[in-house]
Structure 1
């Protein structure tokens, strides 16, 4: 993981945003695009905020990009996305009605379209099979985080990552801090000993809450849950996976490794006013991750209006401390003075520039392992037990069995009880292996 990341970071440091004509004429570059053209034809699977945002950011690059197909569970969402993109980049949108695909299996039709790059920005429960399909089709891929919700999903992604490497496919993952200069330089300094040995870390994603969309008349249970995917574990993975993964990823990046075990605690007292007919995920988690050298990473994740909000990381070393977003205190005190770039935009600048130049990098492994770090923490909080990385990865439960066969009218794996309430994990009773 660190070798791949170091190679990519070295490339980012020495490259520029505009690709040169010589790079475009390279043999590697010619294999990156259909029919030897410098046009990068891409499709979007998942037309929500991040899918639409990633498409817009791809179009904002200096690359000759064109959106040629979209897929989403809901047709109206796909159409709104296309309209929004065309309002700003009309010349880069070529999506006639016959290339707007809807339904839970629509990703196959979109990926089958003649294209170079696939953007996967669906709810994380669906990503493993979509990523696998895109790899099997030989597409370059940008996939939003997290990449799965459970151990079987992570194993499936890791297997596909190995196949993508054999095929020399670009795999970008939406952990955008890894593309932000302030993080890159600060963590390089930490790795070079600026704060001595890393002793402990604190990582936070404490926010106010999330959206909710009431069920409409005639809407199937599957459609309702897909439209409210953040509220259901099988499709979201909980807040620790969906948002807090960013901070956990930074902590693992700092260490250059992943935790071997975790214990945690959490609950769901305040989310949606405690109404279990609307949501099943926790509203707060606290984790103690342990790395193989015995050092700790302490994690807070929370959605609670009116409380302290903070998103960030802190690293404690034997010779000082660091904020990975751009500062160091102690004998080697330092503060980042360069330009702070928008990470979501920069990751697309880097991806498209590299693709045009034939510089293929693969972020799939750390995307999967950082996702699993979040899953490890979630299962520790749900169960109230110390959970080992190796055991959970090998034996962790499947939250969405048979997901490849789901349709918008299928019963989802989590159904409300007779009282209308959704089941939720109870620490001390929840079993992460059954």
Structure 2
């Protein structure tokens, strides 16, 4: 992939159907099974976000029906099925024989008579699941982030290219892209409302996140998968799992992706410093640099008692924009009545289902992958304490979950505890963000160049 594709190629037209972003295809009602106008759905990942996305789809005007479900754990399938059925019984036709538990359950659900697949699993699993859905010719809504490491992003991008060839719908759960407040503010910035963008500030500062204690019947893989947020190979850390939203907005404003990043971070409060329970950081700070030298400054943290703030700001030669507040200050002042801004999680499903009903296809996979990689770039800069370049990391970043296609609940996960029970925690100044193979390749290139 050339540098333009991996970094600076930016499709403003891909923000949302409502903004005229749909790429119209000859595909029509025949996109659905046997030419019916019913849209059959398979849910992969039955946790809170998977159940939430399903409910959002049920709330649309579409003739939708949930026909298959899959999750690593049967109890999560059963719980989600019961909860969704209480409100949407007429829209659910998913008997036990189409409820698939285990790591390979996603294939069985995707192979069912479904048209649209919701992927709401831990990020480390998404590239293989998205790839399989595309291979089977299914439309996809995939929650963010779409991967936890560079190899996963590359795999996802390859599948995106295949989805375009097959004219498949790909929606990504970066819901701000579907909110009129953000869309109108960023349109104004692109039209010059704040002049040239000089700097960006983005924040996801909160108090903490859930933790699930180890269950007696869980293997090590089962424990980590059930407690996925706290393991880098599964979640990508807080900067990927949550802060991606703000980073995505910053890149959307700028119209490109950063060329490099340096950062810092650590674990001040996470599980009271207990590395036997979690390996992720609880605070990160990044300085992203774009191709023209413009900076984006990023804060992401989970620290109780600290300043909490989730927002994005753009500073220009003619003014300042508060994206999360829907305001522009300066000679081209503007404000959006936040009461009129729809719920983004709901709006993205209105857009997706209405587009399918009209026979239109749009594909958000590319910016979903690039925004995911922006977060990964920041994480690796914070973990290593070094300046990390986009192209180097995309080509040579570590594989956090090698062999993932063969994982079962009985497999050893890639992050095993040591003899002291502690999980490996990145140490800035010691952590290396690149694979051994890529480092050796660079070493050999230097030798050949000298020769």
TM-score relative to the length of structure 2: 0.92
Alpha-carbon distance between aligned partners in 2 of 1:337 and 1:103, rounded to the nearest angstrom: 46
Distance 1:223 1:7, change over 3 A: closer
The reply on whether 1:87 has 2:86 as its aligned counterpart is yes
Runs of 4+ in 1 over 2 A off after TM superposition: 1-5
After the TM superposition, which residues 118-133 of structure 1 pair with which residues of structure 2 at under 5 Å, given as runs? 118-133=117-132
Secondary structure at the counterpart of residue 28 of structure 1: coil
Distance 1:32 1:117, change over 3 A: same
Alpha-carbon distance between aligned partners in 2 of 1:95 and 1:165, rounded to the nearest angstrom: 29
1:336 corresponding residue in structure 2: 336
1:314 corresponding residue in structure 2: 313
Secondary structure at the counterpart of residue 265 of structure 2: strand
**Deviations 1:94-138 (Å, cap 9, x if unpaired)?**
010000000011100000001100000000000000000000000
Alpha-carbon distance between aligned partners in 2 of 1:187 and 1:346, rounded to the nearest angstrom: 18
The reply on whether 1:12 has 2:29 as its aligned counterpart is no
Distance 1:134 1:5, change over 3 A: farther
Number of aligned residue pairs: give it: 424
**Deviations 1:252-280 (Å, cap 9, x if unpaired)?**
00011000000000001210111111000
Unaligned runs of 5+ residues in structure 2 are 1-7, 436-451
Alpha-carbon distance between aligned partners in 2 of 1:94 and 1:218, rounded to the nearest angstrom: 30
2:360 corresponding residue in structure 1: 359
Secondary structure at the counterpart of residue 360 of structure 2: coil
The reply on whether 1:253 has 2:252 as its aligned counterpart is yes
Secondary structure at the counterpart of residue 141 of structure 2: strand
Secondary structure at the counterpart of residue 221 of structure 2: helix
Alpha-carbon distance between aligned partners in 1 of 2:36 and 2:414, rounded to the nearest angstrom: 44
Q: CA deviation at 1:30?
A: 2.0
Alpha-carbon distance between aligned partners in 2 of 1:264 and 1:194, rounded to the nearest angstrom: 30
1:346 corresponding residue in structure 2: 347
Instruction: Tell me if the contact between 1:32 and 1:356 (Cα under 8 Å) persists in the aligned partners.
Output: no
Alpha-carbon distance between aligned partners in 2 of 1:394 and 1:38, rounded to the nearest angstrom: 43
Distance 1:170 1:14, change over 3 A: closer
Alpha-carbon distance between aligned partners in 1 of 2:20 and 2:207, rounded to the nearest angstrom: 39
The reply on whether 1:396 has 2:402 as its aligned counterpart is no
TM-score relative to the length of structure 1: 0.96
Alpha-carbon distance between aligned partners in 1 of 2:10 and 2:141, rounded to the nearest angstrom: 20
Secondary structure at the counterpart of residue 416 of structure 2: coil
Secondary structure at the counterpart of residue 278 of structure 1: coil
Instruction: Tell me if the contact between 1:213 and 1:227 (Cα under 8 Å) persists in the aligned partners.
Output: yes
What is the CA RMSD across the aligned residues, in angstroms? 1.4
Alpha-carbon distance between aligned partners in 2 of 1:149 and 1:49, rounded to the nearest angstrom: 19
